């Protein structure tokens, strides 16, 4: 089961251990999904707020 993270700073910290971050853009929100060796972490953001978080990530990103 994926674990939803609600804090942006915690999500950025977790990205240091992740293999990739998938970005899914919906009309009402943007979902960021971190894939680590053990778990999947997700973060939901409002459209327009994701640019700051994506620029701070420590792993490769993939748009889906």
3-class secondary structure, 17: coil
The answer to pTM > 0.85 is: yes
pLDDT range class, residue 26, cuts 50, 70, 90: very high
- CATH code linked to domain 3-63: 3.30.720.90
- Inform me whether the pLDDT recorded for 48 exceeds 90: no
CB 46 within 8 A of CB 28: no
Please list the residues that pair with 40 across neighbouring strands.
Answer: 35
């Amino acid at each position: 089961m994926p674990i939803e993270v609600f804090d942006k700073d915690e999500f950025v910290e977790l990205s240091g251990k992740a293999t990739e971050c998938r970005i899914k853009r919906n009309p009402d929100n943007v979902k960021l999904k971190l894939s680590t060796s053990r778990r999947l972490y997700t973060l939901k953001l409002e459209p327009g707020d994701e640019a700051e978080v994506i620029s701070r990530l420590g792993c490769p990103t993939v748009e889906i």
